[in-house]
Structure 1
Amino acid sequence: MPFITNKKAKRPVDIFYEDYGTGQPVILIHGWPLSRKMWEQQVWKIVDEGFRCISYDRRGFGISSQPWENYDYSALASDLHALIEDLDLSDAVIVGFSMGGGEVVRYLTDFGSDRIAKAALISSIIPLVKKKDDNHDGVPEDALDDIKNALQKDRVGFLKEFGKGFYNFDDNKDRVSQAQLDYDFTIASFASPRATIQTALAWSHTDFRSELKNVDVPTLIVHGDADETVPKATSADQAAKGIADNTYEVIEGAPHGLHLTHSEKLNELLISFLKK
């Protein structure tokens, strides 16, 4: 099975990846608390359209290494950098879903865009989740503390309910099956408990607003206007104002997990952007 090792990490970290197709490389960065497996409906389409599609498991998730420490965004971006260097990729497109949007922005901040042609932020947390005096649409800090406490007290119980909200399940039962919820739950529950909490702290408290200027490549922003997990007012709306060269697409009625509920529309937007 293919792994790359981030030897520049404080302790070496092994990152599992899948690599299909040929052509311009498109790197898919998964959301919290899932794994590369969330991209099932995108991988085949990207490959069929003539691109090389690479997806990987973030440290602590899937079958990548599960270290105890170092889940800040610079550490996570260093794993992406190691993958790009190890596979000697150039002219790559980096696509981040939800918390994966943070890796996109931090990668461009820490490593620049020499190897990057384009970027995409899908249902992304960028630039800031937490409510502040200058971010009134954000999530109140006590609600974020409740997430951390729930993960510490009953992680799997929290994840079971979180999966329903991810897809606005009651409104999308014709688009997402109970089996899909069970599948996602299995993926999430087998992630490192430590990583699940530490990465939640990273996505809930990291402020990327000052880093948006570092996104100096054409960028696709896609968000659902029914996203209850990461409301677009605190994320995509602000990202579109702060990223100079962006294409902003709002999918009507789409929840956070639009990669499944609205996969055809997302694929259409993504492929169109890749081929521009």
Structure 2
Amino acid sequence: MPKEVFDGLRAASIKDRSQLYQELASGPFFGFNREGAPKSQGMIDAFWMQGLMAGHKNTFDCIQAFSETDFTEDLKKFDIPTLIIHGDDDQIVPIATSALLAAKLVKDSVLKIYEGGSHSLGDTSKDRLNDDLLAFVQS
């Protein structure tokens, strides 16, 4: 994603991080901005609370760390069975620039794509995610 997207997140964090966390959770993080998506106020509130419990400088610096760190060489070194799971409607970390590339870099990896899946599969697809994790560990 363009650096300007992350510059916008940093600016929003400085201006009103409480509002930023509300907007992220109400929209792209869980996919609640998609037409027909069931919305959970509990998930939104939990995301907001967790964000505000974290240190402001830590969360601000995290934006740079997750947007500018290149793990390409690290991924090429993986030599153990690796499961990569990603939602194809992840609006936070687009699948094309993350999981699809990682699956090519990690030899003998298994890629599972959740159709319509958001960024927060642990919340929005938890039963399927747990089943897939258990099956992979047992294989």
TM-score class normalised by the smaller sequence: over 0.9
Residue 135 of structure 2 corresponds to which residue in structure 1? 272
Question: 1 or 2, which has the higher helix percentage?
Answer: 2
Q: SS of 1:166's equivalent? A: coil
TM-score by length of 1: 0.48
In 1, Cα distance between equivalents of 2:47 and 2:5:
23
Match of 1:244 among 94, 102, 107: 107
Residue 20 of structure 2 corresponds to which residue in structure 1? 158
- For 1:188, the aligned partner's letter is G
In 2, Cα distance between equivalents of 1:147 and 1:200:
8
- For 1:205, the aligned partner's letter is E
Match of 1:195 among 49, 53, 58: 58
Q: Does 1:262 align with 2:125?
A: yes
In 2, Cα distance between equivalents of 1:202 and 1:162:
18
Q: Report if aligned partners of 2:13, 2:20 keep a CA contact under 8 Å in 1.
A: yes
Q: Which has the higher contact order (CA 8 A, sep 6+)?
A: 2
Offset, 1:173: 4.5
Q: SS of 2:84's equivalent? A: strand
Q: Report if aligned partners of 2:87, 2:116 keep a CA contact under 8 Å in 1.
A: yes
Q: SS of 2:33's equivalent? A: helix
In 2, Cα distance between equivalents of 1:211 and 1:170:
34
Offset, 1:260: 1.2
Range 144-153 or range 245-254, more displaced: 144-153
Offset, 1:205: 0.5
Q: Report if aligned partners of 2:21, 2:47 keep a CA contact under 8 Å in 1.
A: no
Q: Report if aligned partners of 2:30, 2:118 keep a CA contact under 8 Å in 1.
A: yes
Offset, 1:242: 0.3
In 2, Cα distance between equivalents of 1:215 and 1:194:
32
Question: 1 or 2, which has the higher strand percentage?
Answer: 1
Residue 128 of structure 1 corresponds to which residue in structure 2? none
In 2, Cα distance between equivalents of 1:179 and 1:213:
39
TM-score by length of 2: 0.92
Matches within 5 A, 1:1-276: 139-164=1-26, 165-171=28-34, 173-174=37-38, 176-276=39-139
* Structure 1: 5+ residue stretches without partners: 1-138
Q: C-alpha offsets along residues 34-74 of structure 1, whole Å, 9 cap, x if unaligned? A: xxxxxxxxxxxxxxxxxxxxxxxxxxxxxxxxxxxxxxxxx
Identity of aligned residues (%): 36
Q: Report if aligned partners of 2:25, 2:43 keep a CA contact under 8 Å in 1.
A: no
Offset, 1:238: 0.1
Q: SS of 2:107's equivalent? A: coil
Asked which structure has the greater CA Rg, the reply is 1
Q: C-alpha offsets along residues 187-228 of structure 1, whole Å, 9 cap, x if unaligned? A: 111110010011111011001112212212110000011111
* Structure 2: 5+ residue stretches without partners: none
